[in-house]
Structure 1
Amino acid sequence: MRSLPTTHLLYLHGFRSSPGSTKAQLMARRIATTHPKVHWWCPQLPPSPREAIDLIMRGIACWPRDSMAVVGSSLGGFYATYVAGMTRCPAVLLNPAVHPARDLARHIGTQTQWHDREQHFYFRSEYIDELRGLEVGALPRPERCFAIVAKGDEVLDWREMSARYPDSRVKLLEKGDHALSDFERAHLDEVIAFLQPA
């Protein structure tokens, strides 16, 4: 993939999720335990896609492009695709959203956080256009992308996800679910190996 190991790792959570998500926490613990020199960042993303990307791109502005990487889950996978397109860094995409402008149009209104139902936010109609503005075409370095796609995903269409990254490595699961509930047991080691953390 590249000669330099990953020194800076960005994790982007999905819609209604947070840095407290199971996969984010599993990765954070693994990196802290086995690769403590790696700079880990998993920000709480605002509901506005434009604000989310602004936050992300400001946060990684000084990161070394030749030794950074990004992991994204669901809507975070859509954002991670944008980051990979802009920086050409390696990306791991976990059941990535492919058409969020279409899919999230039915979620306009008040939403709750998955991990804390007391936390509310309002998903505005203008966010749909913001999502459209973040769509990128084919990745400039598709070989630096690794997507894990579950046919059993109850939220997103596995055909669309796998077709979105035709020249990348795609691990297509015959079953599974949107959350990749077996992430720690079946996929975490493979993700870490792909990222080659320092």
Structure 2
Amino acid sequence: MQYIVIYLHGFLSSPQSHKAMQTLEFVKSHYPQLTLEIPSLGNYPKQAAATIEQIIAKYPDKKLRFIGSSLGGFLATSMCEKYAGKAVLINPAVRPFELLEGFLGEHVNPYTKETFLLEQKHIAELKALDTPLENINSQYWLLLQTADETLDYRQAEHKYQGHKMEIEQGGDHSFQNFERFLPDIFRFLLQD
């Protein structure tokens, strides 16, 4: 198949997250020939971006497609703008460098149990990855829930205006009942 789909998890998450596993199971059942990558993104922005770039480099002849959740949505946007891709963004972080200012210090990833220290230099790495939407060949579909307790959905609504959006009242940051969108997500991603 001509596509590569890369699922990007959020901050303090992993490829074992609920949405990542739902996506993997859906692809196994409905698109067994599709190349799906669900990388374990490092805890630091520059490290996470390098991991994504390494995956992209492995597939020079495939069309890039992304599913990004929260901070993964921010990273997916950065890559889409750089490489002219298509992405579905689930409650994406728009200005994570502001949000994570309040998270400086030591953290433990609940999935990997890895301890890491978030410092000011990592905020600067995030700012360096912030990308305006200027690539006319990039396409986005946003899935937003208004009761997201972590991010203000209106930031994404504003940044991605003009792109396809599904804004649901209520919900939460995890995007409740995500799996019901999987058939439409892949129909969107796997068309030109």
Summarize the alignment of residues 102-117 of structure 1 with structure 2, pairs less than 5 Å apart: 102-115=98-111
1:35–1:70 CA distance, 2 compared to 1 (3 A) = same
Name 2:23's counterpart in structure 1.
27
Distance in 1 between residues matched to 2:2 and 2:152, nearest whole Å: 31
Distance in 1 between residues matched to 2:99 and 2:45, nearest whole Å: 14
1:46–1:113 CA distance, 2 compared to 1 (3 A) = same
On the 8 A contact 1:7/1:37 being kept in 2, the answer is no
Distance in 2 between residues matched to 1:66 and 1:58, nearest whole Å: 14
Q: Give deviations 1:96-147, integer Å, cap 9, x for gaps.
A: 000000000111111122335x432222221000000001111413762101
Give 1:159 deviation, angstroms.
0.8
Instruction: Structure 2: give runs of 5+ residues left out of the alignment.
Output: none
What is the TM-score normalised by the length of structure 2?
0.92
Aligned counterpart in structure 1 of residue 76 of structure 2, from 61, 74, 80: 80
SS across alignment from 2:57: coil
Give 1:89 deviation, angstroms.
0.8
Name 2:189's counterpart in structure 1.
195
Q: Percent identity?
A: 31
Instruction: Structure 1: give runs of 5+ residues left out of the alignment.
Output: none
Name 2:133's counterpart in structure 1.
138
Q: Which moved more, 1:55-64 or 1:87-96?
A: 55-64
SS across alignment from 2:100: helix
Distance in 2 between residues matched to 1:137 and 1:70, nearest whole Å: 17
Name 1:50's counterpart in structure 2.
46
Distance in 1 between residues matched to 2:6 and 2:117, nearest whole Å: 25
Give 1:45 deviation, angstroms.
0.8
Give 1:7 deviation, angstroms.
2.2
SS across alignment from 1:178: coil
Q: Which moved more, 1:40-49 or 1:62-71?
A: 62-71
Q: Which amino acid aligns with 2:121?
A: E
What is the TM-score normalised by the length of structure 1?
0.90
1:7–1:66 CA distance, 2 compared to 1 (3 A) = closer
RMSD between aligned alpha carbons?
A: 1.8
Distance in 2 between residues matched to 1:73 and 1:135, nearest whole Å: 16
Name 1:122's counterpart in structure 2.
117
SS across alignment from 1:133: helix
